């Protein structure tokens, strides 16, 4: 019988160990492969999310930066509009004495404001009255607008083509001898209208300011006056301050800014290129050779957005490029690729470490489960209980199972959790109490020493506390506030606002806005007030806190800027801008069918004469007095505006009938007609008023203004000091005037004019002694157009100068033809006021006489009295210049104008022409006979020739002969005749009479 040994237990144990190790290895390999795939997918997703985050970050930064640039541009353009209106308008309309503090040194006139806020210079050898006024007016204007602007810019200046510069602060002009080169070195060409037709604000390139030792960028706004470029206004911003708006705060992120030429603007995040070491000639390739392959497609294709990768310093980076269009810059925000994958890398390390530990643990567990399972659990339990006894609370939880040891572990875990919670709660309360005490102490000091006024109330809006700043601002002591209602801190001048605040506080529990604080002083205290609730942990409101920031200075600056923008600085009336705003509102109300108003448009008659004779200061005082009278006489709801010069406009609300408008027109005339004392002189002025009714005459703003203007000119044509309502006939007359003006230009080019000649006859010898040349217009479509239809239009448009030169040439040429056949060649030609004042009159006369070879003494130029009585001294000087050519002078229509014998004797004239208005009623009107005889006698005493116009009857000829006036002109002998009929008339004159 063979004895057989039982299976060895050791062999079975070894097999289980091997199997456990094999299974552990297979699980480990499979887990590692699955984890690798998962980590790779996670890595791609993280990179995609990082690109998206960089893009969102860049877009948000660019949007906020563009808002910053738009805000700065708007401020610069508003300041430019004020400077263009106030500085250039005042400099061209108000004379002023030279400021006492202007100094001349090294070819430059300099001035520093008395308050040190600004300085000015003017590079010239002489300082005209205009630029003396600009020095003074710009100083006053800078004192108003500079304080507000310097809160947003570190300087503000104006630079004109003529060399005038004013800047605030004044350091540029005070500290730098090469200041003029600095102002002219950058920007003038880019501001011209041909390069900037929209006249908008422009951003300059980045440049270094040696005065402030800063890299800056400038906002430049072209300055125009009467549509003519005169210079620019500028404001500088430190580039470092601008870059602070980018809000790139992530320590793992960097950025680079470059322009469309590939030049670096700034790259402070790298630690290599900062704005302080900036060299604008450095390119991206020079500073960042690794980035050149990223930026090259951006610059070549002008891309607006780009994403890519590059390597720098042995590390991979990802980058997102976005455009800053307004400045022509590109913003590239980048970060290390490893920083995006740092979590993945850490996860890889932990993952593989855990798998190694897991494998080792599984192998060890499978190998020693029979030996160590119970013992390790008991050891852990003993260790935990021992640790708790020593105060070690951060022990891990013991494993729980259904066996006896597991149930014991569960009991120990629950006990340890309760002990941990108790100790942790005690520690947390101690820490929170200490932190709350420190925070309360810090907040208390912050409120007490705050530069903002603070008041704290209870839940019933009764004040419990005010800080020292509130006491300082209001001038009241602390007892004045305690236990009083919170809204008592607001001035009673804001009573309406107080009710709104109370409603908001009770409905929404908070309020924020601008208001006036109640104070013991006279000056209002404007504050930005914020009232917010203080809530307890359960959400209930226990008190309120009110904080007030003093903005009185800002409000005062805004008020002054609004006055400059909407009101006339001389009279205090509304200006053209404000008037147009009110007119639009009135038109909108009228368009709804329930509102009517009248528009008055007028200017002062003979204001220019008063201004020229008494001076501009007297003219200004006259305008101020007229404005005061209008404000005192018209209603408060009516809008009174000075549109410029002596032009005024009035919007009368609630006027729906012409009778009401007529009453107001009479009131205005009576108010203005009262004598006005100007120094030692007393003047009486009148107004010509144009009236239009809305919405009856028009429902369009521009059309209504045009109607009022037409009505005013019709009032002037009726003799001034009157008023006229708009009618459709005025539109027709205006259209006819425009038609004639256009056709007149064509007629001059196409030579549609002919000259007729009216003979001047010696009634005693019946000989023709000369002719008066009279122009005639034969229109190809309209036929004959009388001179009274087009002469005044030619005078108003200046075409009379060109037309008069043609008449002069034609008449002199015809005179030479008459002289060649033995006829009288004396030629009289009417000279208009526009021709008489033309600077080229003397040269034109000399050229015509030379070309036609006309004897100068045979040419008679006829002038009216009104032409000579404006600027008498200038007229006398012009007459003497004409006389030097040998030309004879006549005064036409004598006796109908502003006759003055004291001036007449000084005029170098040769002849008087008695106006037809005195001759036509002879012999029926005894007064006309006496006046005519007196004019003839006076002319003979002054040794002047006399010619009577408008002679039509034998009785008139006999009367003139009895009074020794033999040269006559009129239909009795001949009407104006064509050039071809002149010779025949001379031959048959004795037979016709």
Task: Write out pLDDT tens, residues 651-678.
Answer: 888 888 888 888 888 898 888 888 888 8
Choose between 88 and 932: higher pLDDT: 932
> Residue 327 CA to chain centroid, in angstroms?
21
pLDDT tens profile 552-576:
777 777 777 776 777 888 888 888 8
Measure the CA dihedral 164/169/171/172, to 10°: -40
Tokens encoding 615: 């001076």
Distance CA 142, CA 642 (A): 24
Cα–Cα distance measured from residue 372 to residue 360, given in angstroms and rounded to the nearest whole number: 15
The whole-angstrom separation of Cα 723 and Cα 711 is 8
What pLDDT, in 10s, does the model give residues 191-230?
776 777 788 888 888 888 777 788 888 899 998 887 788 8
Q: What is the pLDDT of residue 855?
A: 93
Average pLDDT, the chain: 79
pLDDT over 80 (residue 394): no
Q: CB under 8 Å to 941, separation ≥6 — which residues?
A: none
Give the span between the Cα atoms of 168 and 142, in whole angstroms: 8
Distances in Å between the Cα of 621 and the Cα atoms of 87, 129, 612, 646 are: 20, 20, 14, 12
- At residue 15 the predicted structure's pLDDT band, cuts being 50, 70 and 90, is very low
Q: Where are the beta strands (DSSP E) in 399-504?
A: 453-458, 463-466
The count of residues in the chain is 993
415 band by pLDDT with thresholds 50, 70 and 90:
confident
How much of the chain exceeds pLDDT 70, in percent? 81
Query: Which stretch of DSSP H or E encloses residue 103?
Result: strand 103-105
C-alpha to C-alpha distance for 444 and 464, rounded to whole angstroms: 14
This prediction's pTM: 0.40
Classified as helix, coil or strand, 257 is: strand
d(CA 45, CA 960): 116
Confidence of residue 2 (pLDDT cuts 50, 70, 90): very low
CA torsion sign for 461, 465, 470, 474 is positive
Task: Quickly state the pLDDT bin for 8 (edges 50, 70, 90).
Answer: very low
pLDDT of residue 204: 83
Q: Quick one: pLDDT band at residue 361, thresholds 50, 70, 90?
A: low
What is the rounded distance in angstroms from the CA atom of residue 271 to the CA atom of residue 251? Answer: 12
Output the pLDDT for position 442.
77
User: Residue 229: CB partners within 8 Å, gap ≥ 6?
Assistant: 161, 191, 192, 193, 222, 223
Res. 812: pLDDT tops 90:
yes
pLDDT of residue 44: 73
Which two three-digit tokens encode residue 954?
């034998």
Residue 640 to residue 577: CA distance in whole angstroms: 12
Task: With beta carbons less than 8 A apart as the criterion, state whether 306 and 324 touch.
Answer: no
Q: What is the mean pLDDT of residues 893-912?
A: 69
Residue 463 has pLDDT above 80, yes or no: yes
CB 928 within 8 Å of CB 919: yes
Determine the Cα–Cα distance for residues 321 and 55; give it in Å rounded to an integer. Answer: 8
Contact status, residue 709 vs residue 690, Cβ threshold 8 Å: yes
From the list 719, 982, 777, 758, the residue with the least C-alpha distance to 862 is 758
Distance CA(291)–CA(256), nearest Å, equals: 10
Please give the Cα distance from 546 to 673 (Å, whole number): 58
**pLDDT (average), residues 859-869:** 78
593 Cβ contact list (under 8 Å, min separation 6):
none
Banded pLDDT at 967 (limits 50, 70, 90): very high
Contact indicator for 204, 153 with CB cutoff of 8 Å: no
pLDDT at 809 over 60: yes
Residue 108: pLDDT band by 50, 70, 90 thresholds? Answer: confident
C-beta of residue 162 within 8 angstroms of C-beta of residue 180 = no
Sign of CA dihedral 813, 815, 819, 820: positive
The owner of tokens 């001038």 is 475
| Cα–Cα nearest to 334, from 255, 396, 250, 452 | 255
Query: In this predicted structure, which of 48-52, 804-808, 809-813 has the lowest mean pLDDT?
Result: 48-52
Alpha-carbon distance of 784 to 450, in angstroms, equals 88
Do the beta carbons of residue 257 and residue 327 sit within 8 Å? no
pLDDT digits (tens, 9 = 90+) for 529-544: 888 888 887 878 888 8
Q: Could you give the 3-state DSSP secondary structure of residue 225?
A: strand
Instruction: Tokens 């040994």: give the residue.
Output: 5
Question: Which position has the higher pLDDT, 209 or 365?
Answer: 209
The vertex-397 CA angle with 396 and 403, nearest 5°, equals 140
Q: What pLDDT, on a 0 to 100 scale, did the predictor assign at position 16?
A: 42
Q: How far apart are CA 685 and CA 602, in angstroms?
A: 13
Two tokens at 38? 């998962």
**Whether residue 97 has pLDDT greater than 50:** no
Helix (H, G, I), strand (E, B) or coil at 652: strand
| Whether the predicted pLDDT of 176 surpasses 80 | no
Give the per-residue pLDDT at 835.
82
- Other CB atoms within a 10 A radius of the CB of residue 327 amount to 21
Query: Using CA atoms, how far apart are residues 811 and 770, in angstroms rounded to an integer?
Result: 12
Mean pLDDT for 770-774 is 91
Is residue 976 packed enough to be buried (19+ CB in 10 Å), middle (13-18) or exposed (0-12)?
middle
Distance, in Å, from the CA atom of 645 to the CA atom of 640, rounded to the nearest integer, reads 15
User: What is the rounded distance in angstroms from the CA atom of residue 886 to the CA atom of residue 421?
Assistant: 124
Q: Which of 82-91, 774-783, 858-867 has the lowest mean pLDDT?
A: 82-91
Paired strand residues for 457: 463, 544
Confidence of residue 11 (pLDDT cuts 50, 70, 90): very low
């Amino acid at each position: 019988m063979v004895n057989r040994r039982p299976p060895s237990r050791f062999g079975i144990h070894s097999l289980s160990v091997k199997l456990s190790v094999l299974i552990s290895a297979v699980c480990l390999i499979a887990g590692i492969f699955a984890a690798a795939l998962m980590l790779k997918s996670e890595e791609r997703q993280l990179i995609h999310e990082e690109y998206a985050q960089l893009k969102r970050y860049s877009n948000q930064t660019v949007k906020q930066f563009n808002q910053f640039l738009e805000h700065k541009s708007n401020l610069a353009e508003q300041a430019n509009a004020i400077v263009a209106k106030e500085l250039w308008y005042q400099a061209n309309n108000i004379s002023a004495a030279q400021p006492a503090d202007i100094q001349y040194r090294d070819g430059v006139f300099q001035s520093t404001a008395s308050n040190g806020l600004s300085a000015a210079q003017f590079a010239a050898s002489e300082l005209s009255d205009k630029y003396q006024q600009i020095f003074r007016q710009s100083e006053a204007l800078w004192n108003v607008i500079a304080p507000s602007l310097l809160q947003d810019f570190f300087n503000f200046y104006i630079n004109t083509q003529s060399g005038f510069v004013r800047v605030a602060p004044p350091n540029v002009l005070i500290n730098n001898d090469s200041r003029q080169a600095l102002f002219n070195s950058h920007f003038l060409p880019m501001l011209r209208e041909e390069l900037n037709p929209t006249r908008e604000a422009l951003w300059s390139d980045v440049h270094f300011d040696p005065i402030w030792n800063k890299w800056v960028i400038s906002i430049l706004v072209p300055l125009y006056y009467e549509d003519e470029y005169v210079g620019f206004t500028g404001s500088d911003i430190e580039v470092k301050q601008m870059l602070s708006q980018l809000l790139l705060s992530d320590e793992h992120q960097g950025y680079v800014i470059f322009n469309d030429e590939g030049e670096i603007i700034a790259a402070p995040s790298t630690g290599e290129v900062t704005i302080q070491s900036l060299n604008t000639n450095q390119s991206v390739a020079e500073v960042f050779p690794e980035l050149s392959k990223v930026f090259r497609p951006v610059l070549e294709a002008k891309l607006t957005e780009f994403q890519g990768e590059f390597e720098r310093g042995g590390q991979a980076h990802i980058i997102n490029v976005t455009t800053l269009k307004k400045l022509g810059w590109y913003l590239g925000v980048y970060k290390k690729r490893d920083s995006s994958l740092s979590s993945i890398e850490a996860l890889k390390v932990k993952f593989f470490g855990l798998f190694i530990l897991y494998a080792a643990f599984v192998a060890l567990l499978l190998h020693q489960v029979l030996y160590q399972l119970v013992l390790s659990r008991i050891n852990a339990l003993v260790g935990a209980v021992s640790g708790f006894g020593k105060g070690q609370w951060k022990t891990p939880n013991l494993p729980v199972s259904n066996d006896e040891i597991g149930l014991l572990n569960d009991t120990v875990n629950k006990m340890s959790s309760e002990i941990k919670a108790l100790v942790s709660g005690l520690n947390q309360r101690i820490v929170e109490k200490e932190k709350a005490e420190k925070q309360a102490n810090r907040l208390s000091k912050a409120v007490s020493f705050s530069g903002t006024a603070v008041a704290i109330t209870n839940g019933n809006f009764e004040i419990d506390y005010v800080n020292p700043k509130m006491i300082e601002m209001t001038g009241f002591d602390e007892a004045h506030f305690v236990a009083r209602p919170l809204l008592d801190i607001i001035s009673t001048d804001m009573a309406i606002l107080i009710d709104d605040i109370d409603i908001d506080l009770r409905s929404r529990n908070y309020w924020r806005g601008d208001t006036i604080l109640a104070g013991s002083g006279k000056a209002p205290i404007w504050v930005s007030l914020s009232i917010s609730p203080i809530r307890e942990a359960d959400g209930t409101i226990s008190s309120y806190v009110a904080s007030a920031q003093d903005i009185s200075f800002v409000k005062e600056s805004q008020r002054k800027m609004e006055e400059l923008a909407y009101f006339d600085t001389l009279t205090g009336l509304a200006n053209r801008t404000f008037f147009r705003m009110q007119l639009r509102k009135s038109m909108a109300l009228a368009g709804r069918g329930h509102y009517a108003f009248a528009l008055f448009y007028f200017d002062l008659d003979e204001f220019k004469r008063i201004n020229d004779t008494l001076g501009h200061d007297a003219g200004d005082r006259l305008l101020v007095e007229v404005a005061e009278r209008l404000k005192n006489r018209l209603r408060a709801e009516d809008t009174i505006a000075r549109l410029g010069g002596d032009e005024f406009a009035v919007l009368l609300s609630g006027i729906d009938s012409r009778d009401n408008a007529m009453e107001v027109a009479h009131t205005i005339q009576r108010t203005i007609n009262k004598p006005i004392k100007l120094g030692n002189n007393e003047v009486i002025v009148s107004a010509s008023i144009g009236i239009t009714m809305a919405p009856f005459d028009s429902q369009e703003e521009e059309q209504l203004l045009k109607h009022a203007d037409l009505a005013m000119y019709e009032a002037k044509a009726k003799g001034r000091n009157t008023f006229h309502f708009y009618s459709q006939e005025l539109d027709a007359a205006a259209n006819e005037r425009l038609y004639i003006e256009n056709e007149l230009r064509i007629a001059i080019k196409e030579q549609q004019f002919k000259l007729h000649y009216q003979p001047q006859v010696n009634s005693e010898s019946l000989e023709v002694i000369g002719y008066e040349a009279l122009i005639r217009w034969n229109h190809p479509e309209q036929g004959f157009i009388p001179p009274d239809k087009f002469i005044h239009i030619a005078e108003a448009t200046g075409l009379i100068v060109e037309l008069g030169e043609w008449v002069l040439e034609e008449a002199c040429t015809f005179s030479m033809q008459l002289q060649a056949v033995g006829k009288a060649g004396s030629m009289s030609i009417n000279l208009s006021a526009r021709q008489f004042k033309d600077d080229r009159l003397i040269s034109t006369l000399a050229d015509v006489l030379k070309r036609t070879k006309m004897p100068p003494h045979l040419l008679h130029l006829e002038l009216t009295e009104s032409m000579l009585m404006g600027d008498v001294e200038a007229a006398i000087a012009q007459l003497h210049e004409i006389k030097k050519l040998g030309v004879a002078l006549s005064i036409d229509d004598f006796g109908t104008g502003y006759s003055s014998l004291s001036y007449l004797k000084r005029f170098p004239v040769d002849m008087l022409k008695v106006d037809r208005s005195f001759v036509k009623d002879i012999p029926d009107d005894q007064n006309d006979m006496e006046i005519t005889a007196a004019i003839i006698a006076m002319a003979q005493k002054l040794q002047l020739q006399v010619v009577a116009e408008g002679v039509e009857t034998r009785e008139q000829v006999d009367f003139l002969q009895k009074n020794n006036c033999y040269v006559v002109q009129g239909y009795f002998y001949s009407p104006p005749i064509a050039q071809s009929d002149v010779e025949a008339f001379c031959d048959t004159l004795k037979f016709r009479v």
